[in-house]
Amino acid sequence: MQRYALNASLLVLALIIIGLSQAGAIDLYVQSVIMFMAINVIMSSSLNLVNGNMGEFSCGHGGFMCVGAYVGSLISMLLFTNSKLFGAALLPPATAIFLFPVVLLGAGIVAALAGIIVAVPSFKTRGDYLAIITLAVNYIVISAIQNLDVIGGPRGLTGMRPAISAMGDVINLPWMMIWVLIGCFGSVFLIRRYISSTYGKGVNAVCQDEIAAEIMSVDTNRIKLVTFMVSSGLAGVAGALYAHVVGYLNPGSFDILKSTEAMVMVYLGGMGSLSGSVISAVVFTLLLEALRPLQIYKWVIVPLILILLMQFRPEGIMGNKELSDLFPRLRKYFTFK
């Protein structure tokens, strides 16, 4: 019973959120904040896999999110909606309820393939040179999409929302919230299983000492390839969810600032701590929303808070520990590693 306590409590939490949204007890603004929070959790925990656990410095995560957002939107427009781009829907829109995971999976797979562009140079180089490659990839992705006039180019892309409203026509539930929560919990679950698998051990070995890991028969290239692909693939899933929440895509919104946000969340939570990156994503999203009334001063105060945090706690909120290291009693209920 105790083993399932955390999973059960998360499920209950998700059901409560969905129930409240259904009953109209929380308004649309709060709902959207919760959805962005969940998307940020996916972003920060997936980047944490590369930046925290593997000890690389990837600063182009927004690019993969962009790939996922566009691919997810295009799949959903192709399958479920009558759009100018693809003409009539391939499937009856009602099937979106069962087939929406296809959209997320497709986005994830294509983004993971885009991750190979970064993974291949990482076989030979580490550290700041790799950081540049990720940065350049981010620019390349944004620039490529801006030059594709078919999907809107710099004007942006709209038309993926009807897929969500079609689900609502069949059964009246807050579908977007449901998918976002499924995506968020699924991603965190996947990352946790990945870190605790043999691959995850290999990731930690690569972080500690690559040469030693190589000597101890860890296939470092394969580890790097898979880790980058998992990380960027999940960023793609986050992007697809984001696209359907917002309903409008613009390549400019996935630039370096987006990547910076993801990086900030990772280092705020503490490198290599999954619970840290989840907590920091929640805190960071709340912080941004709480400071919204300050308008322009928001982006002065937020960096200031982060700088001060770094001064007084340079290892982030959790500092490379999981919740179970801080509160050992939690281990009775849940195995974190």
Partner 1 sequence: MEFVFQNILNALQWGSFYALIALGYTLVYGVLLLINFAHGDIFMVGAYIAYFVATLLLGTMGLGPTATLVLAVPLTMILTSCVGVTLERVAYRPLRRKGAHRLYVVITALMCGLMLENGNLALLGASRKYFPELMEKTVYTFAGLSVTNLKVVVIITAFVAFAVLHFIVTRTKIGMAMRGISWDKFAIPLMGIPVDSIIVFTFVLGSGMAGLAGLLFAMAYPVLEPYMGALIGWKAFIAAVVGGIGDIRGAFLGGFLLAFLEIGVAAVFPSTLRDLIAFTVLLLIMWRKPTGIFGVAKHQKI
Min dist. Cβ of residue 324 to partner 1 (A): 22
The H or E element spanning position 157 is strand 157-158
Residue 288 makes contact with partner 1 by CB under 8 A:
no
Return the range that interacts with partner 1 (CB under 8 A); candidates 142-150, 157-165, 233-241, 282-290: 142-150
Angle of helix 28-48 versus helix 274-290 axis, rounded to 10: 140
- Which residues, numbered 170-209, are part of the site for partner 1 (CB under 8 A)? none
The H or E element spanning position 85 is none
Residue 150 makes contact with partner 1 by CB under 8 A:
no
> What is Dmax (Cα atoms) for the chain?
58
Return the range that interacts with partner 1 (CB under 8 A); candidates 62-70, 74-82, 120-128, 242-250: 120-128
Please say whether the beta carbons of 57 and 124 come within 8 A: no
Neighbour count for residue 101 (Cβ, 10 Å): 12
C-alpha to C-alpha distance for 75 and 153, rounded to whole angstroms: 17
Residue 287 makes contact with partner 1 by CB under 8 A:
no
Residue 116 makes contact with partner 1 by CB under 8 A:
no
At residue 64, what is the residue type? F
Min dist. Cβ of residue 30 to partner 1 (A): 27
Please say whether the beta carbons of 6 and 333 come within 8 A: yes
Min dist. Cβ of residue 220 to partner 1 (A): 14
Q: Which residues of this protein are in contact with partner 1, per CB under 8 A? A: 51, 57, 120-121, 124-125, 128-129, 131-133, 135-137, 139-140, 142-144, 146-147, 154, 211-212, 256, 260, 263-264, 267, 271, 296-297, 299-300, 302-304, 306-307, 310-311, 314-316
